[in-house]
Structure 1
Amino acid sequence: MTARPVVAPPEPWAFPAPQEHLLPNGVRLLLHDLPGQYVLSLRVVVPSPVAAEPAGQEGIGSMTARLLDEGTSEAGSEEFAERMERIGMVLGAGVSDGGLVVDVDVPQAHLAAAADLVRAALADPVFPEAEVRRILRTRLAEIEQERASSAHRASREFSRTLWEAADRAALPVAGTAATVGALTREDVVAHHARVVGPRGATVVLAGDLAGVPALEVLTGSLGSWTSGTQDAPAPSLAPVPAADRVRLVVVDRPGSVQSEIVVGCPGPDRSLASGWAPHPVLSFLVGGSPGARLDAVLREEKGYTYGMRSVFRPRVAGGMFLASGSVRTEVTAEATGLVVDILDRARDGFTPAELRSGVDFIAKTAPGRYATADAVADESGSLALEGLAPDFTTRNLEAVRALTLEDLDAAYRRTVTGEWTAVVVGDAAAVVPGLSERLGVPVTTVDL
């Protein structure tokens, strides 16, 4: 009889280390060589916090990003799209709280053509009037769709309740109907000139670079990107919590058969002095799997939900911790109370078995999470935007493996003080009485 093989513990894993270069225009270049990844992933990140958007123009950064591939002085909108299609290139652009992110995937053989198209899109977009109007209309329609989604509506109300009204974090990154509806082509052109340029930018390239003259190609393309009008990037500041954030808001959705619940509080970013390592483990243990504390009660024991999740969500500066999910209308009050109780009881501490489960999951699944070129490029670009070193992910995983129960408990208690901001999207007539009684706090009701 053949003996079963011995299963050995996995070897320690490290995030792929990049080669770092400086392009002629001062742009930082990070090259991650990943053998076998023949579709290359290119990222360009430009620090430009959305908090620096002019008052009344919130969302202009997102609109500008969406318009970058709508034509340049060299190629109109249709021709630009045709050039991308000919080389199998996929381009996307968006804005996070910290800045602009352009992401490109392209076959290895067409890197040079793709990089030059990216340079043209960043340096010389023409923002055709018709395309500007189309993108703005699309965003306005998108806002209406988000309003119809309980999860989106809850997220928007949560941010508006958690942060000071004057803080940019209280509004959606892509703006509101009022701010987007007031934008013009001239606003977009001025924003691009002010914000989008090589100053402070980082380019990341990940994939199989064997035989690819990546440094030469990128020096001749993105290394020649210039802007004479770009302002110095503004520093990212942590959002300010609202003075009255500890409360419950119900967004009335008459006739709704289920309620969306969000409970949370301010949280840290990944550069906090005490270390980021405990926080992904805590997310997993509290609400990161069907066996986590939230689902063990609300899904497995009570059958109230298909899933309740929790997460520490870092920003470039500051962040938030939240738990969210949907439940049946008739159990909304009890479910919301259970969420708060579970989150509060976690302050009493975690168990050795939980520690081992959480550490194993975060540390041992890392190779799978970063198995592709686009995942490596995304992480490397995020680190650059957050001002973190390229070896941060490796060092953080080492810290995860070394976590103790004391580390875990202390990190949770530092953030989770029991002062909760809660939002429920549902039928107010059906849920408000029970919520007031169950939670013992005033309930504010707002329209959908």
Structure 2
Amino acid sequence: MSTLSAAGPRPVVAEPAPWSFPQPDRFVLSNGLAVQAFDMPGQHVLSLQLGIPAPLAGEPLEVEGVGLIMARCLDLGTARHTADELAELLARKGIALHAGVGERGVIVEVDTISRNVSEALDLMVECLTEATFPEAEVRREVRHRLADIGQDKADPASLASLEFIATYFDPKDRASRPGGGSHESVSQITAEHARAYHAATVHPDGAVLAVAGDLTGIALQEELERALAAWSSVPSHQPATGSQGTRAADAGRIVFVDRPGSVQTELHLGGPGPDRGDPLGWGPYQVLSFAIGGSPHARIDRVLREERGYTYGIRAGFRHRSHGGLFTALGSVRGEVTVEALEALLDILDLRGSDLTDAELAHAAGYQARTAPGRFATCEAVAGEAVSLALDGLDTDFVSRTVAQIRTLDPDVARQAWDRHRGTDWTVVLVGDAEHAAGVRALGRGVVDIVSAMRAE
């Protein structure tokens, strides 16, 4: 048996070098569509991501979820091709097309090899402008969405998230209801609703297209002008305004969703947080998220997982929205320690900025700064971030400024940022066996309401 030589000294990890988000070429097409083109040599599978401002708050109340159904049906039949024919055309050219919705609007994603970019653009525009929303396809997508809703209600983590938004946000605010609609609203959606929503929202006005990848030899602006000429703007079109994310007057309470016999308790806690326009910048909040709940070595897991063994892991951090934001913590704990785990978590979150050490803030900042280039190493990540920022009214320089702020972060700014949004009036949702509710109530952390899982579903 050979003997291993003694290990030498550990290598020194260098400080992160300055880094900037890729800078695009920008131009506006004749139909008004804003384009950001990122040339990323060597990445021959291009990512084209189109963001169309159509906030969920603009959906008709009685058919909420119609945006998602409309997006899912864009490639399921056009004036020229059936769903099967479109699928065959996309597969033959190695083109992936997907559409979905988010808080801010409709996102259409296309991946294609560079030599097939013309065909990819033609098929994308065909789906945008000539989608017919066949009755059978819409009914099928409605059934799929209803099945998804049933699955969400059966999964404790999804159920906790649904109960959280219903508790946290004002019932009049769109944010209080599922982004993909409820069982009641989705059940009402027809092909005619999908067509009407498409006609009302899918326009180039205010939209942005990000194209990222190796653009060598591609006359991109000419290709886009040719392909997108058929997608015309509507001068009178005014995109709906987004949800304000108004918090409910009675949000500061604990809701226990009773699932008798559960051996785990799912926990979802939250309070107000900043958006990306916060005066202190977004950098401190990314650092705080990592230091408090973003890794197994963060404050929460160091106590609840490593020291006490209550959980496999709880993740916490700041989440921006188009208006305002949230601080959330979520994960599951062993059922028999529900009370102790919640008490420990709330005690950790009671910390003040002055309790955060220079060492933990420096570690969190170093990790965030060092990993930023890796997070944006692919064309898909670059295009997706560019569209997300544009729909929020932000430029790609925002990412560079944020990383620079993190790399040179003053710990006192991070402490100030924590105190600025430190939660004291938490919204807490627990999904598990309500036999633990009496112990939770005894913590004195707020009103505790018990609801049945059947009612929540």
Range into which the TM-score falls when normalised by the shorter chain = over 0.9
Letter of the 2:102 counterpart: S
Count of matched residue positions in the alignment of Structure 1 and Structure 2: 446
Give me the whole-angstrom Cα distance separating, in 2, the residues matched to 1:426 and 1:313.
25
User: Aligned-pair distance for 1:56?
Assistant: 1.5
Corresponding residue number in structure 2 for 1:76: 82
Question: Could you say what secondary structure the match of 1:221 adopts?
Answer: helix
2:45 counterpart (31, 34, 39): 39
Alpha-carbon spacing, 1:223–1:265, altered in 2? closer, same or farther (3 Å): farther
Deviations 1:204-240 (A, max 9, x none): 0000111122221111113441254973112334211
Give me the whole-angstrom Cα distance separating, in 1, the residues matched to 2:17 and 2:412.
26
TM-score norm. by structure 1 comes to: 0.96
CA contact (8 A) 1:199 1:230 kept: no
Give me the whole-angstrom Cα distance separating, in 2, the residues matched to 1:49 and 1:20.
24
CA contact (8 A) 1:355 1:404 kept: no
Alpha-carbon spacing, 1:346–1:83, altered in 2? closer, same or farther (3 Å): farther
Deviations 1:36-80 (A, max 9, x none): 111000000011111111122211111111111111111111111
Within the alignment, does 1:283 sit opposite 2:276 as a pair? Answer: no
Letter of the 1:251 counterpart: V
User: Aligned-pair distance for 1:334?
Assistant: 0.8
Give me the whole-angstrom Cα distance separating, in 1, the residues matched to 2:35 and 2:441.
55
Give me the whole-angstrom Cα distance separating, in 2, the residues matched to 1:3 and 1:263.
43
Question: Could you say what secondary structure the match of 1:345 adopts?
Answer: coil
Question: Could you say what secondary structure the match of 2:62 adopts?
Answer: coil
Give me the whole-angstrom Cα distance separating, in 2, the residues matched to 1:168 and 1:413.
29
Give me the whole-angstrom Cα distance separating, in 2, the residues matched to 1:440 and 1:285.
24
2:439 counterpart (434, 437, 448): 434
1:239-318 → structure 2 map (5 Å cutoff):
239-318=245-324
CA contact (8 A) 1:196 1:230 kept: no
1:94-243 → structure 2 map (5 Å cutoff):
94-226=100-232, 228=234, 231-243=237-249
Deviations 1:145-165 (A, max 9, x none): 001111100011111111001
Mean Cα deviation higher: 340-349 or 39-48: 340-349
Within the alignment, does 1:373 sit opposite 2:358 as a pair? Answer: no
Question: Could you say what secondary structure the match of 2:377 adopts?
Answer: coil
Deviations 1:69-92 (A, max 9, x none): 111111111111111101111111
Give me the whole-angstrom Cα distance separating, in 1, the residues matched to 2:119 and 2:263.
52
Give me the whole-angstrom Cα distance separating, in 2, the residues matched to 1:387 and 1:4.
45
Give me the whole-angstrom Cα distance separating, in 2, the residues matched to 1:190 and 1:230.
16
CA contact (8 A) 2:175 2:243 kept: no
Corresponding residue number in structure 2 for 1:13: 19
Alpha-carbon spacing, 1:432–1:204, altered in 2? closer, same or farther (3 Å): same
Deviations 1:214-273 (A, max 9, x none): 221111113441254973112334211000000000111111110001111122221223
Point out where structure 2 has 5 or more consecutive residues left out of the alignment.
1-7
1:392-407 → structure 2 map (5 Å cutoff):
392-407=398-413
Q: Which runs of 4+ in 1 moved over 4 A?
A: 2-8, 227-230
Give me the whole-angstrom Cα distance separating, in 1, the residues matched to 2:159 and 2:124.
34
Deviations 1:166-212 (A, max 9, x none): 11000011010001011111111111101111111100000011112
Question: Could you say what secondary structure the match of 2:61 adopts?
Answer: coil
Letter of the 1:422 counterpart: V
Letter of the 2:253 counterpart: R
